Structure 1
Amino acid sequence: MQDGAPPGQDTSEDLGEPRRLVILEDDQTLARALQRSFERRGYQVALAHDPTELDALLEQQSFGYAVVDLKLGTSSGLPCVATLHEHDPDMLIVVLTGFASINTAIEAIKLGACHYLAKPSNADDIEAAFGKAGGDVEAPITSRPTSIKTLEWERITETLAATDFNISETARRLGMHRRTLARKLEKRPVK
């Protein structure tokens, strides 16, 4: 980053250096689509589909930007956010998730992410999130209370993440029959 640049704006492209982005996403179709979109925007993109691949990439090169899927197979992407932030505290990290919850959003930000987006999100959304790394003081405050369904879903996703996405253990912790939880997850898949 260049001195005097607004937070979240990389001026390395102006200096002839490429903008390097790593995408950690286990859905290979989505990962390739994001890769193509960002390459058209001038980024050099590397893909990782699991934490081991990410570690190997970090040994080879540095990145200014990262996109991390919150759910990587049966594990959480949150430790990867921490790894990326430890590797480079100035890296702009956006977390993507198909099951947004307040708890995981807070943890992602505390671990070093600059933004948290619900899927489906495209390259436009992600690039805008990189630009808002400093926060938005004009963000509207809604007066609408959270619905019971939203609270239930947040509790389910929080417990799923805590159990490393083990459905049986999640159902046990929630005091819910496993088939009931499976039906709820079928209606609103965790991706």
Structure 2
Amino acid sequence: MAESQNIGPDPSLLLVDDDEIFLGRMARALQKRGFEVAMAGSVADARAIVQSSPPAYAVVDLRLEDGNGLDVVDALREARADARIVVLTGYGAIATAVAAVKMGATDYLSKPADADEVMRALISSTTEVLPPAPESPMSADRVRWEHIQRVYEQCERNVSETARRLHMHRRTLQRILAKRSPR
């Protein structure tokens, strides 16, 4: 494929996800695009692969059954500073995106993301000023929910302290936190 020319001299890629079906599909799709894919279903498996042969690229799910994908990002950053890492998660929130980028992730994508999106994130040039505008940006309700979640995480998941900082009634905040995120 034409896109595989942009991969570089080392096409090694670590794909970490605890969803076996997704892991297999994404691995096949990325192999077709020119990557040499190593798969891991857990933080422990991923760390073992990183220690034995650190890949040039990685796609890491944020929430894994045996831990947090950010542990894999940290281990890979220590083993190979030039690795391009994309954090992929079904639980997208601004706070986790910021944490992933601070730990060394190159990009952060929310599921469902297809192989083309992942490929673009992995090989995108760091000189690009702005990404293209999203086709469907977040709603105002979603932005509000994201802000509440960020403050909640900063307050170490303390509802009373979060309510004080947001100037909200504690019970109102509890109801908001109990609901699913708006689309």
Same fold judged by TM-score > 0.5? Answer: yes
What is the RMSD of the two structures over their aligned residues, measured on CA atoms?
A: 3.4
- CA distance, structure 1, for counterparts of residue 24 and residue 138 of structure 2: 38
- CA distance, structure 1, for counterparts of residue 182 and residue 158 of structure 2: 16
- CA distance, structure 1, for counterparts of residue 8 and residue 102 of structure 2: 25
Check if 1:95 corresponds to 2:97: no
Relative contact order higher in (CA < 8 Å, ≥ 6 apart): 1
**TM-score, normalised by the number of residues in structure 2:** 0.73
Identity value in percent: 29
How far residue 150 of structure 1 moved from its aligned partner, in angstroms, is 2.8
**TM-score, normalised by the number of residues in structure 1:** 0.70
Check if 1:117 corresponds to 2:109: yes
**Partner amino acid, structure 2, of 1:68:** V
Q: Are the structure 2 counterparts of residues 51 and 86 from structure 1 closer, same or farther at C-alpha, using a change threshold of 3 Å? A: same
Q: Deviations over 1:18-49 (max 9, x none)?
A: x1110111111111110111112222111111
**Partner amino acid, structure 1, of 2:107:** H
Counterpart contact for 2:95–2:149, Cα < 8 Å: no
**Partner amino acid, structure 1, of 2:145:** E
Q: Deviations over 1:158-190 (max 9, x none)?
A: 757997xxxxx78788656989755x23x779x
Counterpart contact for 1:76–1:161, Cα < 8 Å: no
Check if 1:126 corresponds to 2:123: no
Unaligned 5+ segments in structure 1 are: 1-8, 164-168
Q: Deviations over 1:59-87 (max 9, x none)?
A: 32221100011121374322221111111
What SS does structure 1 have at the residue aligned with 2:54? coil
Unaligned 5+ segments in structure 2 are: 1-5, 163-169
Check if 1:155 corresponds to 2:148: yes
Check if 1:28 corresponds to 2:25: no
- Between 1:94-103 and 1:83-92, the stretch displaced more is 94-103
Alignment-derived partner of residue 37 in structure 1:
29
Alignment-derived partner of residue 8 in structure 2:
11
Count of aligned residue pairs for this structure pair: 168
Alignment-derived partner of residue 166 in structure 2:
none
Alignment-derived partner of residue 106 in structure 1:
98
- CA distance, structure 1, for counterparts of residue 132 and residue 75 of structure 2: 32
Counterpart contact for 2:142–2:182, Cα < 8 Å: no
Check if 1:60 corresponds to 2:57: no
What SS does structure 1 have at the residue aligned with 2:36? strand
Matches within 5 A, 1:161-172: none
Query: Which 4+ stretches in 1 moved above 3 angstroms?
Result: 138-142, 153-163, 169-182
Counterpart contact for 1:68–1:81, Cα < 8 Å: yes
- CA distance, structure 2, for counterparts of residue 116 and residue 65 of structure 1: 14
**Partner amino acid, structure 2, of 1:83:** A
Q: Are the structure 2 counterparts of residues 61 and 140 from structure 1 closer, same or farther at C-alpha, using a change threshold of 3 Å? A: closer
Alignment-derived partner of residue 80 in structure 1:
72
Alignment-derived partner of residue 3 in structure 2:
none
Q: Are the structure 2 counterparts of residues 92 and 45 from structure 1 closer, same or farther at C-alpha, using a change threshold of 3 Å? A: same
